[in-house]
């Protein structure tokens, strides 16, 4: 079932990228969050996630080539747009812990 609030779903996807995951799983999570941000026209957030994905050594693996290609395209288009359409409670430059009850930093 899809959430009724796509912006909240985007926030949760972005928060999940800061969990301690194995690199192979982090590539998957970054890919999902990047696509969600791009779909919601949050281009600054999408670019940040694409850069993180492209900076991972695992993104160079043959199995991750399609994700790398998508991330490169998202990064290019996001840098051209350079804006976030929706305000989300997320700042990539700050360290945070997500509360288990409220699911917010």
* Every domain of the chain and the residues it spans: 6-81
Tokens in use for 83?
């804006």
For residues 103 and 74, what is the distance between their CA atoms, to the nearest angstrom?
27
Distance of alpha carbon 65 from alpha carbon 7, whole angstroms = 28
pTM of the shown model: 0.87
Q: pLDDT tens digits for the chain (105 residues)? A: 455 889 999 999 999 998 889 999 999 999 999 999 999 999 999 999 999 999 999 999 999 999 999 999 999 999 999 899 999 988 877 776 776 666 666
């Amino acid at each position: 079932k899809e959430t009724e609030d796509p912006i909240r779903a985007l926030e949760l996807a972005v928060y999940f990228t800061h969990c301690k995951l194995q690199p192979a799983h982090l590539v998957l999570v970054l890919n999902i969050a990047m696509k969600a941000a791009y779909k919601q026209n949050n281009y600054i957030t999408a670019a940040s996630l694409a850069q993180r994905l492209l900076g991972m050594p695992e993104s160079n693996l043959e199995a991750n080539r399609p994700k790398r290609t998508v991330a490169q395209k998202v990064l290019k288009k996001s840098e051209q747009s350079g804006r976030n359409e929706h305000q989300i409670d997320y700042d990539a430059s700050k360290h945070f812990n997500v509360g288990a009850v409220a699911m917010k930093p």
